[in-house]
């Protein structure tokens, strides 16, 4: 399969690129700064493109069989539009070039966000997480989650064979574990980046969850909530495994 990966220079994107190459796929790693991308392989093409540049996105998608989007930005107070703008350019380019299969990443916290999709079930988590911790995080990252909602709406409105994957709190490990898929409301507090990458490759090369939103979460070797809060949200310290 010829696979374009947007956000390939993220931790999850690098894992996905390595896993896809190891499985025999041809990968186009779409990154803003190609000179900083650390991977190389005869079946890897590094493509410099900003997702806000429609023409660059079209060039990256031409000739591909499928697309994975791992776009992301950190929490901040300013309005976020890069996710919705980027996915618009990606889906438009896919339609233009006849590329049908799309897998994209948002967040399991959309299930508690104020602007979540109408009719979506609440998360099946303990009271403290549902009513205190998760609302705090979605308030802290409101501009990001607002744009994730817009991104999901854009994807759902297309005629593509799309899958939206919602991970839980992200952390780093070195090896793929027996992670689980489930409905968006399924309980599961953590998702390792390497498991997320593997789940994206599983989805984009298969058709099990086409036109579906699925959660993916790790159950073995998970960190404490305090570790995730400090290292992922507050950016204090670092993980033992990069």
Q: Considering the entire predicted model, what is its pTM?
A: 0.89
Per-residue pLDDT, 189: 84
Per-residue pLDDT, 136: 73
**Domains identified in the chain and CATH numbers:** 2-233 (3.40.50.720)
Output 117-123 pairs: Cβ under 8 A, ≥24 positions apart.
Answer: 117/149, 117/152, 117/153, 120/184, 120/185, 121/183, 121/184, 121/185, 122/185, 123/185, 123/187
Question: Which stretches of the chain drop beneath a pLDDT of 70?
Answer: 113-119, 122, 127-128, 130-131, 225-242
Q: Which tokens belong to 148?
A: 């994730």
Per-residue pLDDT, 236: 47
Distance between CA atoms of residues 131 and 17, nearest Å: 37
């Amino acid at each position: 399969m010829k696979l374009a990966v947007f956000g390939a220079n993220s931790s999850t994107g690098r894992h996905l690129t390595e896993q896809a190459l190891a499985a025999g796929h041809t990968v186009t790693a779409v990154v803003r700064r190609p000179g900083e991308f650390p991977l190389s392989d005869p079946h890897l093409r590094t493509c410099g493109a900003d997702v806000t540049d429609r023409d660059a996105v079209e060039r990256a998608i031409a000739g591909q069989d499928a697309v994975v989007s791992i776009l992301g930005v950190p929490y901040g107070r300013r309005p976020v539009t890069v996710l919705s703008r980027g996915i618009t350019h990606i889906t438009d380019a896919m339609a233009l070039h006849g590329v049908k299969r799309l897998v994209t990443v948002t967040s399991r916290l959309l299930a508690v966000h104020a602007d979540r999709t109408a009719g979506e079930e609440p998360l099946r988590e303990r009271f403290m997480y549902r009513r205190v911790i998760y609302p705090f995080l979605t308030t802290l990252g409101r501009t990001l989650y607002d744009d994730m909602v817009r991104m999901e709406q854009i994807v759902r409105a297309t005629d593509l064979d799309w899958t939206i994957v919602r991970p839980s709190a992200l952390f780093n490990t070195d090896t793929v574990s027996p992670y689980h898929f489930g409905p968006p409301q399924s309980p599961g507090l953590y998702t390792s980046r390497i498991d997320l990458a593997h789940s994206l490759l599983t989805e984009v090369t298969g058709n099990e969850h086409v036109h579906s939103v699925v959660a993916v979460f790790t159950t073995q070797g998970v960190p404490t909530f305090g570790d995730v809060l400090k290292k992922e949200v507050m950016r204090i310290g670092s993980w033992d495994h990069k």
